[in-house]
Amino acid sequence: MRSFFEPQSVAVAGVSTDPNKLGSIIFANLIENSEKGLLRARVYALNPSHSRIGNFPCYPAVKALPEVPELLVVAVPEAQTVPLIESAAASGVKAAVMITGGYAEVGKGAVERKIARLASKHGMRVLGPNTIGLVDTWSGVDSLFLRQTKRLASGEEIVSMLKPLRGEIAIITQSGHLGEVIAEDLASNGVGVRAIVGTGNQLDVSVEDVIQYFADDQNTKVIAVYLEGVRDGRRFMETAASAVRKKPVVVFKVGKTGAGARAALTHTASLVGDYEIYRAAFRQCGVVEAHTMRELVDYSISLQMLPRTSGKRLVIITNAGGVGVIAADEAARIGLQVDPPGTAAVRKFRAEFEGASFVANASLGNPIDLTASVSSDEFVKSVNYFLNLAEYDIALVLPTHHAPGIAPDIASRLSDVIVRSGKPVTCSVIGDSPLAVRLHSEFMAKRIPSFPTPEQGVGALAVMTDYGRSRVAAHAPETSTRKRTRRPSRAGLLPQKEVSDLLRSYDILEPKSVIVTSSKDLAGLRELRFPVACKLISKDLPHKTDAGGVVLGVAEASEVKAVFERLSTLAERRHLGFEGMLVQEMVKKGVELILGGVRDQAFGAVVMVGLGGTHAELVRDFKLAVAPVTPVEARRMLIGGGIGRILRGYRGGPRASVGRLSGVVSDFSRILIENPWIEQMEVNPLIASGNSMMAVDSRVFSGSGDARVGRPGDGRLLSERFR
């Protein structure tokens, strides 16, 4: 991978006498970087039709070059690529960037596969095709073919693209254009990038490869990813989790609404969307999620600039009430703590500023509103005071420069006390005047993130807390293969008996039950304690309650007989295969949960736990995790939100042990991992009460045997999906 970023030599294939051709633009940029002393690699032009391009020699083929280039930039049409790649790989070229499109994205996947084989044979890595390639602001390697100016009708040239600045944020993107505009946005804020890497169709080099590279790169402080999708979710999680331990990884995932075509055999399957799985995976491996383009930029800036924290206690300091209230609303919405300072701190503040006229009107809650009458000097001293209180971890400073008392040197004076505090602090400079622009730049130059709205200032602080917390927990699920059952002989709903055996082998208990297949053979009932529940068994009826196939509270054996006859008639009338009736001891009241598992083409086995019963889909209070789930991780899924409240015994309702349930969730997740033939699986309800966890009704669907069946639409990049 290093050959992409720090090659000794680069050759560009497709350089032409037409300066507007991609190859010509790239070659010109590289030469310019050489002449500036930025690029140390030797640069060569390749084109069989020319012997010179401007002042430079042009070579007909890789073999004709004075040396074997370490990196080859391919900007020739698709038709000419295969022989070029073949000769380059055979000659010992280490890395190739394929800029041009016209491959898998227009249905020519076979050409890509051929190139991948050729490259792999000779150990050459390939980035692209169909990409902007890469810009390394440190080494000067640059395959960006966009022009930096355009010509107006008047003949005048206008700057159409801001050149990326050198910096510490690595941008990895599955859309070249997005990578460029993110870098441009950063540049307009005076912030640089370590590199931009567009992975294009990912013939060989994937987003995961690039994450791994920057994880180990000294000059990279933050990895920002624009993600359409991943092919190998587990690899992504491993790479990301390992990177997150070293530096923050921020991901903006798009294509949220393009759901995979998963067969909805269980409640679980209808609840679990692609995007929800990505979110669960991000949470598990400690990736910070950005929800908009704006957040990706804002979060990258604050993660690059600010010291680490995991504290949530925010103080908001302002001289204008309105923006303070907006900030407090937003902070509460996203879960930061906005508590007023303690009385001792307030008393000490009043003592320090005794006699200052602003104090009489100031509101010393949180937001701390020093009012429009505060002077620059008082504002700076007050900020210093509150920043240094041990009761706050993070701070948002809102210096409204419109107030008459605030001098234009406010940013530089505030910067000093902010930097000295050692805490993560953001500012919002609200306004669009030249003074506002100046203050914003001054803050950014001192590495204090500044934003044009209070909401952004708050969001950029919250992300520090998120990263601080997620870094500790970041891990990728292992793949265990401890034990396995054999694939059942036929695909589809597994017989109830085999489901019970499977659960039992993982220590998941079911209520005591017998299966009745004839109304004459009721001897087995003697082993049960009444009342019992009677359930129709039919492979055609996975959701028994939907069709009236469940009768609860049957009090004695004679009633069981009547129910049996009713259910067999029901099955007949509805043309359902009738396999008998399950007679099950009633479980004492408890928390009804749903425990489900599906397979995702990208991430493999995914486990869901949520509030159960027939309203599961309606309530939609559930948590996901990529399997296997450790008991610690299961606990994290269970303690928050509605599930957590229910388990703690909501409104006098039954309580259940979170510790014991975490164990069940973890065991359940191992079933999916260790029995790859399972396509979907669900326990609904699992009735939990104290330490008792009973799988009352369970369904297992076996698939075609591949561990990643059931989601034909997924695991592909958007570019493939839209074809």
C-beta of 588: minimal distance to its own copies in Å?
15
Strands 157-159 and 149-151, by their bridges, are antiparallel
Identify the H or E element spanning 398: strand 394-398
Strands 678-689 and 425-428, by their bridges, are unpaired
Under 8 Å between Cβ of 537 and 579: yes
Task: Give dist(CA 283, CA 293) in Å, integer.
Answer: 19
Identify the H or E element spanning 575: none
Token output for 467:
């990263």
Under 8 Å between Cβ of 43 and 50: no
C-beta of 456: minimal distance to its own copies in Å?
9
Q: Which is nearer to its own copies, 181 or 525 (CB)?
A: 181
Q: Which is nearer to its own copies, 326 or 693 (CB)?
A: 326
Q: Which is nearer to its own copies, 291 or 483 (CB)?
A: 291
Residue 517: count other Cβ atoms within 10 Å of its Cβ: 13
C-beta of 566: minimal distance to its own copies in Å?
17
Token output for 164:
């990326």
C-beta of 295: minimal distance to its own copies in Å?
10
C-beta of 100: minimal distance to its own copies in Å?
11
C-beta of 719: minimal distance to its own copies in Å?
7
The DSSP string of 491-545 is SEEPPHHHHHHHHHHTT-B---EEEE--TT--GGGGGSPSSEEEEE--TT-SSGG
C-beta of 316: minimal distance to its own copies in Å?
13
Q: Which residues face 541 on adjacent strands?
A: none
C-beta of 373: minimal distance to its own copies in Å?
8
Q: Give the torsion sign (CA, 287, 289, 293, 299).
A: negative
- The one-letter code for the residue type at 328 is A
C-beta of 158: minimal distance to its own copies in Å?
5
Q: Which is nearer to its own copies, 152 or 390 (CB)?
A: 152
CA distances from 692 to 412, 588, 595, 641, 659 (A): 62, 10, 15, 22, 11
Q: Which is nearer to its own copies, 107 or 712 (CB)?
A: 107
H helices within 174-232, ranges in order? 176-188, 207-215
Coil vs helix vs strand at 225: strand
The DSSP string of 470-490 is HHHH--------S--PPPPSS
